[in-house]
Structure 1
Amino acid sequence: MTVELDRPATRRMLGTETLLVLGLSLGQSAVYAAVSIVAKLTADGPLSKQTAALNTSVSPRPWLDLTYQLLGILFALLPVLLAVHLLARDLGDPARGLGLDARRPGQDLARGAGLAALIGLPGLALFWVAAQLGVNATLVPAALPELWWTVPVLVLAAVQNSVLEEVIVVGYLVTRLQQLQWRLGAIIATSAVLRGSYHLYQGFGAFVGNVVMGVVFSLFYLRTRRVMPLVVAHTLLDVFAFVGYALLPREWFDWL
């Protein structure tokens, strides 16, 4: 009996695959974020008086905490490897096909820095407005103890977030939805709303800001077919937020 290895994927297979990849990664995060915002809205006290903490400590023992942090970062990247592996059949070299390679380091860095400025400065203004309106929880970007490994772990966490989100929500999802023959507007909206939805645990201002970011990043990818500048931009934004919060005086961040 011969097993056929080259049977073309059907639309149904691609759709099921996409749902499974999202269910193992950021789609799952979106569901938990939706439950989290409902819990916050139905708790005692307004949303603005509640806290959304990122990069939290897992153990009071420093070396064990470091181990947990590194394992969390490592395993969070497995869905990225799965998505890239699944795209290999269609793209040949998926890293090159997604623009996740090092062919254009200078250009990717420059574009990433430009995107970070484009998103970051208005994003800060939006967070401030959301805080004044009381539609965001109080954000704590870094809640790790002050140890020698805190900053390196925060940088690694920023890279992990960036690679996970940009590869899955932009590179993989946009590619699959195009193969499923979705309309361009629906593809951009789906990617952007998904990005916003898994940030809902932070509040409605974070949702809106990330939807806008998702639209910009999806349009950029559709035009350039390169994920790397998006990873650079997202990494810069998260490093600024995580490391800045850990090192700078806390009163600088009271508006969050």
Structure 2
Amino acid sequence: MKSSAKASQDDGAFSTYRPQYEIVAEKIVEFINNAGLQPGDRLPTEQKLGEQLGVSRGIVREAIKSLTATGLVAARKGVGIYVAGKPHLVAMPALHLSMTVDPEHIQALFHFRSLQEMLTARLATEQITLTELRDLEKILADNQRYAEAENWELFIESDDAFHRSIAQATHNLFFVETITDVLYLQRWAIKIMTGGAPGSLLQSVEQHRAIFNAIKDGQAEEAAQLVKTHVDTVLTAYRLAVRRRLITDDTTDQRKEP
């Protein structure tokens, strides 16, 4: 069996992976510091920031959301994006946990994620604003478009954005950071063991839509249960993908034996 060897090879490649919005968020922090901006000072528009950094406006929007959660920047209709805190006093929270997940602990990670996201969904249903609900709907539309196009990388980014936006709707920084960290660790573990994204992308979109509708309708407990079903579905798909990979590796090894 060669799964451990493949895991170590994939580890080096994926350990350097970071969502693009995180990199852009750091560049925006650098811009604020280098420009000497103070609380109340305005930042360029999302469009202009995207042009300066060479990324799409959507990526900039996700970066701004993550920075808003830290209290460093804020966005207000009619005002734009502005510095909300003192850059030299605001420490960026860890964008991902400095730890790895052993294969035998992956189920515990999924269980932890399920509990966290159920709690997050309940609170988000009670706290979400109309603007946040509209933003979540736009993310869901992107998620479906990327799934239909079978664009795995953009689907993963929109998938993370969907779950992170629900966390942001709680208006609690600790939920945002916890969900972001758990998603990163889960992606890392899945990439190591399966080499990709297990399960059906379209099924994932359908489950996202059901969660969105429950939140929109104010059904907190239903949203929580739908999140649990969603996470359980991903875990089941992960187990099947790992099993298929192990069987394939065993078969390959047997064929190579003299």
Superposed pair shares fold, TM > 0.5: no
Using the size of structure 1 for normalisation, the TM-score is: 0.32
* Greater RCO, 1 or 2 (C-alpha within 8 Å, sep 6+): 1
